[in-house]
Amino acid sequence: MNILGYSERGMLNAIFYGMNLLGEKKGLAKLCELLELIKVNGNQVFDKTKVVNAEIIIEPSLSDFGYPDVVIILNYSGKKCVLFFEAKVKTWHKDQWNSKISNFKTQLRRFSDSVGKRISKDGKKRKIGTNGVVLQFYKMIKDADEFYFIALLPKKVSLKHNWGLLLWEDIEKKLVIPGLKENFDFNRTVTDARSQIY
């Protein structure tokens, strides 16, 4: 049996479920390889030797603050670090990518607001709400020692606020995870190798 995922959600599932298939120790080692690909202001931030354990939540809800594509909660040398990921793909039409740039920056800002102030830059008062599952997730992240906001993108862009950057191309070229190559290939046309991921 072969499972293939479409676009950004399918790719994220392939990455993280593929890591999980490797078992706890090897899966955590692959997660560390992924973390080492993240750059903040051009510099590597995470040292794989400091990662003790991790929990990965795919597309959790933060109610009015949005739905991060992935949240990783790290035990990082005794510190609790929470990483919010917002992923964007190129899509089939190249011109659509440019319209998404401000959108992902707005989403990352909202995630930042969820762990700090309750009023965002647009003046809207946002709430976590009363949903039990949302509150349960919020309790998992609110007391973290450090927060990181990561953009997973098809190409390099200028980021402010010390946000992290992770590129799809780096993932495809540098990570070997069960099913990942097949999922990148599925999101690429056979005739001209045109990708809708990056």
Q: What is the mean pLDDT of residues 143-148?
A: 91
22-55 pLDDT, tens digit each = 999 999 999 999 999 999 988 999 999 999 999 9
pLDDT digits 0-9 by tens, 98-131:
545 556 667 766 766 666 555 555 666 778 888 9
CA–CA separation, 149 vs 29, rounded Å? 21
Give domain limits for the chain: 7-186
pLDDT surpasses 70 at 90: yes
CA atoms of 169 and 141, how far apart (whole Å): 29
pLDDT of residue 11 exceeding 80, the answer is yes
Hey, what are 70's tokens? 């992935």
What is the predicted pLDDT for the residue at 161?
A: 72
**pLDDT value for 142:** 87
Q: What is the pLDDT of residue 189?
A: 83
Strands (E), 21-78: 39-40, 43-44, 51-58, 70-76
